[in-house]
Structure 1
Amino acid sequence: MHISFLIHNAYGIGGTIRTTYNLAGTLAEHHDVEIVSVFRHRDEPVFAPGDKVRLRHLVDLRKDSPGYEGDELEYRTPASFFPAAEGRYKQYSALTDRKIAEHLRGLDCDVIVGTRPGLNVHIAQQARRGPARVGQEHLTLSTHSSPLKLTLRTHYPRLDAVTTVTEADARTYRKLMRLPGVRVEAVPNSIPAPALAPADGSGKWVIAAGRLAPAKRYDVLIRAFEKVVAERPDWRLRIYGAGAERGKLRALIDKRGLYNHVYLMGPATPLEPEWVKGSIGAVTSSLESFGMTIVEAMRCGLPVVSTDCPHGPGEIIDDGVDGLLVPVGKVDAIAAGLLRLINDDELRRRMGAKALENSARFDPAEVAGRYESLFADLAGRGNLRGSLHRTRGALLSSAFQAKDRSRTALRRVRAA
């Protein structure tokens, strides 16, 4: 199959970019795969797409590039097609409207995959007839505004499939969105196995990673770790990531006197070498669309203590087997979960081994296999539709020809 992904910016950093590269690179082992980035703002992508994946862009925002388009009037004109309800009006424009439309109308492929709601709307409306149209949901339906949900409900029926990263979100889509004839499938994000030995459970470090944003509730984690330190001062916490909450978190660490036990490490790429230095992963989010860091930690052999928030953790962690699920926002429960693993070396190592084993289901080969089956089915359905259309056309043509022959014969009889 020829599979084409359409992504916001393949040259940046983010979970959607990483998982798209993981999926595309694995599919490219057996198929013709390309990633088309709406924007390009740097010469080389942060993540390597793989030798077999073609990468191209539609709008060049590199100021030192001869193809720079950021000063064009079209780029400064607001978009009229890309849905304003998605809140990307400062990035998308009349220029992106035109470039995306031209790309989709000229695209010759078997499957086209969109990776964000606005791009999925473009695909639903503007992709030429023939390719299977797949819209990916990398967030959750519940996090979208009411105007955006209405936009999706209006245009998504023209897609062939919508994929979510959790079963919970797939159920929400099926219940709340009227999408007759559209397949709604839950397919998780993929995380490759790290190219280094897993953690052995001996390091006295708890590791957390992600954007320093309010939804991650690192303030709750820091307060919980204060209780951990009171009982086990030999353990420490490292938090990796960048974001607007850094100043507040730094102030909280200082206020609680935890500057020798809690460290804001900043971003790290790759993160696997940092995971394996620890023995426990921690996630205290109030909401997770999936839970990439949970899987990353598990793939490095760490059991994870995570809040049982919507939507992903409960579908990733087998509570009490390869990690622990605790109530959202409960400082005492989070501290108790951490201390349970800290104080029981055998339990920690056993759960770490199960985490390593159970997380193999998120390997790119496993996830790509599920997408491959979906794509093949959709492409086959499309070919069947095309075959039926051509057959119907041929039958109609034959019927008209037969009718013409009958009329001709009748005229000849009458003339005789």
Structure 2
Amino acid sequence: MKIRFLLHNAYGIGGTITTTFNLAQGLAERHDVEIVSVLRHRQRTAYTLDPGVRLRPLVDLRAEQEHPLHLKPARVFPEAEYRYGQYSRLTDQRIEEWLDGTDADVVIATRPGLNVHLALQGPRRLLRIGQEHLTLDHHSPRLRGALRRAYPRLDALTTVTEADARAYRRKMHLPGVSLQCLPNSVPDPTLPVADSSSKTVIAAGRLVPVKRFDLMIEAFARVAAQRPDWRLRIYGKGEEHERLSELIERLGLHDNVLLMGAATPIEAEWVKGSIGLAASNFEPFGMTIVEAMRCGLPVVSTDCPHGPAEIIRDGVDGRLTPVGDADALAAALLDLINDDSLRRRMGQAAVRNAQRFSPTLVVRQAEQLIGSLRAPGTGEGPGALPGPGLYRVVTSRSHALKDGAHVAAGNALRRVRSSGR
């Protein structure tokens, strides 16, 4: 089977890139897999990509930043989407040309704006699968409206948590679209897992406000007051670096809290610790939580929407604490720090329980999803699907009028194609 991923920018850094690479590499063991990166801004990817997965950029910003069409605003990518400013008439054109010409059986888009492209521009001969790596509730009402108009043309939509899948089922009318949870995967560890003996807590992620590294540092001030022999190492980079550095100095924690910068691969750093730590206000999934657990660390995390509670089993392989509560975060850390046997048991449970996010199991779920979308019992491919494609809908005026979402999607596509591009 020929499977293609449509990704914003494979040359950047972020959780969606990581999980797309992981899934693509797992699928490549049995399928023909390619990642299509809409944008490219440098020579090499930040993450290592298996040679079995091809990578194709559509717009190379190093040479085409000033392309006349790239200076004109996009018409397909929704204006309310966070990345809208990076898209243009040129990306509209390149994505449509690639979709028209691809020999893929399946195309998997990986963010809302690209899901809209796939819905409006993807030929019916393709299986069109959109992925949600954030959450429906995270999107503005304006963006949700754009998704509601376009998404009925998809064959399937996946979320990374069951909680978000329930939100989509409850709040969006997506007739004929298979809506399923497909969690992110984390590669199997290549190093021996942590043995719980290190007096080190490890945290990792982008240094941005929503991750609440400031709360983490404040909580660790309470920990260091009782256990000055323990250290917190924070891996990552971002806009909050200077503010966090100042907070560490102000709290007198320069010997206990260290900003380590980015580390790739991160596995070698996780196994140097004994506890993982996360303090986000909002976490669509929680890749770093799974990474830490797969390396043998119990994780203390805020119980924020949506991911942590679907990953951590509170009191078994980690602890969940109220969002924004530094005292509760510190108390949960101290429980593990002060009880060597509890920390060891939870670390062992973390390794076992996090196996459900192994690439093998997630790839199997992806293959089952794709298989369920193919025409059952016919042996035919995606071209035979009676899915919610535009052309099937508009052949019957009376049927089309019954479903305003399909009509709106059709009108949007006709406007795009008559725009003179």
TM-score, structure 1 normalization: 0.90
- Tell me if 1:297 matches 2:320: no
Is structure 2 residue 275 aligned with structure 1 residue 317?
no
Does 354-363 or 86-95 show the bigger shift? Answer: 86-95
Q: How far apart are the structure 2 equivalents of 1:74 and 1:317? A: 47
Match of 1:407 in 2: none
In 2, distance between residues paired with 1:305 and 1:240? 16
1:287 to 279, 282, 286: 282
Secondary structure of the equivalent of 1:113?
strand
Which among 224, 227, 230 is matched to residue 229 of structure 1?
Answer: 224
Q: CA deviation at 1:194?
A: 2.1
Distance 1:157 1:388, change over 3 A: closer
Equivalent residue in structure 2 for 1:92, among 87, 90, 99: 87
Aligned partner of residue 84 in structure 1, secondary structure: coil
Contact 1:107 1:128 in 2 (8 A): no
What do the CA deviations read for 1:69-122 (whole angstroms, capped 9, x no partner)?
222111111111111110323210111011011111122221110001111101
Q: 1:366 to 1:155 in 2, by over 3 A?
A: same
Question: How many residues of Structure 1 are paired with residues of Structure 2 in the alignment?
Answer: 384
CA distance in 1, matches of 2:150, 2:277: 39
> One-letter code of the match for 2:23?
L
Q: Report what 1:250 is aligned to.
A: 245
The one-letter amino acid paired with 1:268 is: A
Distance in 2 (CA, whole Å) between partners of 1:293 and 1:97 is 33
Q: Secondary structure at the match of 1:207?
A: strand
Change (3 A) 1:388 1:321: closer
Structure 1 residues 388 and 314, CA, compared in 2 at 3 Å: closer, same or farther? closer
Structure 1 counterpart of 2:211, from 216, 225, 250: 216
Amino acid aligned to 1:125: L
Q: For the structure 1 residues 227 and 158, does the alpha-carbon distance in structure 2 shift closer, same or farther, using more than 3 Å as the test?
A: same
CA distance in 2 between counterparts of 1:364 and 1:301 reads: 17
Shift of 1:379: 2.6
* Kept after mapping to 1: 8 A contact 2:126/2:382: no
> Which is bigger in relative contact order (C-alpha 8 A, separation at least 6)?
2
Is contact 2:303–2:321 with CA below 8 Å preserved after alignment? Answer: yes
**Alpha-carbon spacing, 1:202–1:127, altered in 2? closer, same or farther (3 Å):** same
Question: How far is 1:384 from its partner?
Answer: 7.4
Query: One-letter code of the match for 1:122?
Result: H
Q: Does 1:122 align with 2:143?
A: no
Shift of 1:49: 2.3
Displacement after TM superposition at 1:181 (Å):
1.0
Distance 1:270 1:3, change over 3 A: same
User: 1:268-322 CA deviation, whole Å, 9 max, x = no partner?
Assistant: 1111111111100011111100000000000110000011110000000011111
Partner of 1:103: 98
Q: Provide, for residues 364-386 of structure 1, a one-character-per-residue CA deviation record: whole Å limited to 9, x for no partner.
A: 11101000110122133594785
* Contact 2:126–2:383 (CA under 8 A) maintained in structure 1: no
Aligned twin of 2:37: 37
Name the stretch that deviates more: 318-327 or 49-58: 49-58
Instruction: Compute the RMSD of aligned alpha carbons.
Output: 1.4
Distance change in 2, residues 1:345/1:175 (3 Å):
same
Q: 1:137 aligns with which of 111, 132, 135?
A: 132
Pair 1:69 & 2:64 matched: yes
Q: Secondary structure at the match of 1:86?
A: coil
**Does structure 2 retain, via aligned residues, the 8 Å contact 1:272–1:300?**
yes
Aligned residue identity for 1:309: C
Task: Map 1:192-203 to 2 at 5 A.
Answer: 192-203=187-198
Letter in 1 for 2:39: F
How far is the alpha carbon of 1:388 from its aligned partner? 8.2
Q: Quick check: 2:278–2:300 contact (8 Å CA) kept in 1?
A: yes
Check the 8 A contact 1:5/1:36 in 2, yes or no. yes
Q: Give the match for residue 56 of structure 2.
A: 56
Shift of 1:135: 0.2
Task: Identify unmatched segments of 5+ residues in structure 1.
Answer: 63-67, 390-416
Please identify the structure whose Cα radius of gyration is greater. Answer: 1
Please give the secondary structure, in 1, of the residue aligned with 2:375: helix
Counterpart in the other structure of 1:348? 343
Identity among equivalent pairs (%)? 61
SS in 2 for 1:380: coil
Partner of 1:394: none
What is the SS of the residue equivalent to 1:370? helix
Task: Give unmatched runs, 5+ long, in structure 2.
Answer: 387-421
CA distance in 2, matches of 1:386, 1:214: 45
1:170 to 161, 165, 168: 165
For the pair 1:332 / 2:293, whether they are aligned, the reply is no
Residue of structure 2 equivalent to 1:9: 9
Q: Does the 8 A contact of 2:23 with 2:359 survive in 1? A: yes
Residue 368 (1) aligns with residue 368 (2) = no
Q: Residue type matched to 2:341 in 1?
A: E
Whether the 8 Å contact between 1:106 and 1:128 is mirrored in structure 2 is: no
